[in-house]
Structure 1
């Protein structure tokens, strides 16, 4: 076949979910992919990174309990950690994902997809052969992002690691320099320090600048306690490699390392997908409306609205779970428009991924973990919200003290003074990820505080912090 109802460019989790919703709705779909079906998350991000981090987290948890600690006679086995990581990355083989596409009735076209006309995608295979695909209703761009390698003199020639190389390596470098203090940098500092590397983090713009400062401070203190050097406020001025990596700074300092990992942000994979054919600039983030139709420079949907973008490439929320949420919405709205069904584009409507703006949950799997959803104090101020900040020491919660000796952490919630509802939540501490979905529900459902007071947390659990936060707020 060369004609389908919907063509999806990109077979990561976002593209897969778009195509799945389309075929569930009774339409046909083809998905175009030039790399592994399953995308970044399956092979170089979510799954393998968390596999790298999990063994160390389990070991730390055991060591925080005296009886369990007495049973520990050794340290991490890097080879076993890497082997488990390999299993979660399916050994970088996509047979299982391809089989699933076939099972649910999604056509896979291997090669690089480019928009070459109205509702037309030309796919170029690795051998140069081309095939032209036509969509009856929609083309969806779900091409994701790639790591940025900044233009630091000598850096590219030094063959730096990006997240892909760091996540897929089976070698623990003796010395590792990480450039960038964001999520990738902090998680990889946690992982490689636990595996035995001497790690230096160079965070010119600060450590985890988008989370509450107290949460970032907990992570920095923990990393430093584990021997990680964290340098804030300066960045490399030059890099070279002559067997070892040499990193120079503007103030005259220098570092040597066996590997350098660059974790300074992401760029959209949109530079070679034919955006110029629809009047857009190649390499740009794709701006979308509330139902994820791509917008042109005039702020209106491109052409008659047949082009959509979902996931990281539209820059709304660069997280896999948010991309899959968008995918469900865009798949359903494409089916609705194709079949003449009503489009529910109200805020919080079925076809409108409103949570991208109000309730984006994220877990940062450092030691300690950071879990957050909704606004921080800084983002609430930028949004013009008048909020009251309530904080509580997690160490004072009975369930936390039982969870681990020496438990240290903090939680905070932001209360919208006008609506008397929670609009933001952050927690930092061991295993706080499990607190997050309760906060996500409270924010998404806009639960009034007087009703939330009746949600009684079980005792003794770390979730008791919800009661303590509400009591601190005066309820």
Structure 2
């Protein structure tokens, strides 16, 4: 039996949910297909559980730097309580509430594995052997996200390594945890499990942590992890993994012959799209590939197929995927209803330009690292004439009030021709909440002359903006 809908959405994570919300608001009928849990990776194995594990670690660390609390904040975290709270945050890996939300929109939810079966058609194989054929009158949106990549290493499959999923859902604290990878997942999980009692060894192929941010961000995070006992080794590569019988201690063998032992090993070494088994070959696309899209999130060369969120590789971040979903949903609705024209001009309502110019990200380590826009090196690579303005955050009154012995750093990257901010990076306790002001400045292309009149409250951490502007004025390029 074939069932007809205006739109079929593959994947009911936060990206798919937002596409559903937008097209339903326009009056279109929609089917959404989910093979696992409604709510997706973010709700159950990424953003929500990881931040619930990190919050106690950061709160305790900050309390240790506050007068009157320092002597009371050196007890071990109650790991059982932290893990129980994590379980509650993810609804004990049950999706009743999220599924009820989908139903409340009027969308039809199909549980099972969905595959494209030619243009505008999706076949769903249900968990009980049931089969549904869904036809989309206007659009199919692929919102299937990404999965962790494990390298091809001798012994690794039989060693049962952790990926980000196991790292955020483990029900016990390993005595020794080896983390391979110095990106966001690696440093966040090193922070969380170290605070819960694991002895952490962090193995990084490159020369520093958080390589996509300004170098000072990774340096601050590395110094804090090392101060708390983590063994950080940079410039090393893993050659093999040994774990007899898949249980017991695991040995990570490094190139050159050295080795590290642990009770668990986490590989945080990249992601790939979940497109290997969704029928891409039936419409002339390569299974397992990233899907290239235009700024309305329509797959290049197709007038009916959209790829939203991680699968298009623009920005593998939940908030960016949800932003794309709002854009895509609005574009689908306009094209389907003929209610006006699709506006894909820069900053138009159907154009995902923030994926190019102003992607914000917070790394919830201790200290937090937050960035938006271009690093100095990336800005210089575009050929712009730019200048970096740096600030030691101990000069900000709000920093000392926030925590005694506060350590942090801020940088804004200025386009000297236009005198606008094209990038900003902050590292220090509590600075994640400062990032949106930087995002507004970069996205809005606000001239520095106007930012002078955006007065930060005293004494808050946001006074960093005033100090950055003063530093730019005092050392501005004379040309």
Bin of the TM-score, shorter chain as denominator length? over 0.9
Paired position in structure 1 for 2:348 = 349
Paired position in structure 2 for 1:57 = 58
Shift of 1:73: 6.4
Q: Does the CA contact (< 8 Å) of 2:3 and 2:133 recur in 1?
A: yes
Paired position in structure 2 for 1:334 = 332
Please tell me the root mean square deviation across aligned C-alpha atoms, in Å: 1.0
SS at match of 1:67: coil
SS at match of 2:369: strand
Which residue among 206, 212, 221 is the counterpart of 1:210?
Answer: 212
Paired position in structure 1 for 2:230 = 228
Which residue among 314, 317, 322 is the counterpart of 2:315?
Answer: 317
- Asked whether 1:159 is paired with 2:160, we answer yes
Paired position in structure 2 for 1:369 = 368
Report 1:227-376 matches (<5 A): 227-242=229-244, 243-295=248-300, 301-302=301-302, 305-340=303-338, 341-376=340-375
CA offsets per residue over residues 425-466 of structure 1, 9 Å max, x none?
Answer: 000000100110100011111111100100010101111110
Q: Does the CA contact (< 8 Å) of 2:64 and 2:74 recur in 1?
A: no
What TM-score does the superposition give when structure 1 sets the normalisation length?
Answer: 0.97
What TM-score does the superposition give when structure 2 sets the normalisation length?
Answer: 0.96
Paired position in structure 2 for 1:464 = 463
Provide the rounded CA distance (Å) in 1 between the counterparts of 2:391 and 2:46.
Answer: 32
Provide the rounded CA distance (Å) in 2 between the counterparts of 1:69 and 1:207.
Answer: 29
Q: How many residues align?
A: 468
Shift of 1:68: 1.4
CA offsets per residue over residues 400-419 of structure 1, 9 Å max, x none?
Answer: 01110000000000001111
Provide the rounded CA distance (Å) in 1 between the counterparts of 2:74 and 2:434.
Answer: 32
Report 1:433-448 matches (<5 A): 433-448=432-447
Paired position in structure 2 for 1:126 = 127
Listed as ranges, the gaps of 5+ residues in structure 2 are: 475-479
Moved more, 305-314 or 57-66: 57-66
Provide the rounded CA distance (Å) in 2 between the counterparts of 1:290 and 1:332.
Answer: 12
SS at match of 2:69: helix
Taking a change above 3 Å as real, the CA distance of residues 72 and 225 of structure 1, as seen in their structure-2 partners, is: closer
Q: Does the CA contact (< 8 Å) of 2:314 and 2:355 recur in 1?
A: yes
Provide the rounded CA distance (Å) in 2 between the counterparts of 1:234 and 1:50.
Answer: 28
Q: Does the CA contact (< 8 Å) of 2:11 and 2:142 recur in 1?
A: yes
Moved more, 33-42 or 99-108: 99-108
Paired position in structure 2 for 1:382 = 381
Listed as ranges, the gaps of 5+ residues in structure 1 are: 296-300
Shift of 1:103: 0.9
Moved more, 340-349 or 382-391: 382-391
Paired position in structure 2 for 1:298 = none
Paired position in structure 1 for 2:477 = none
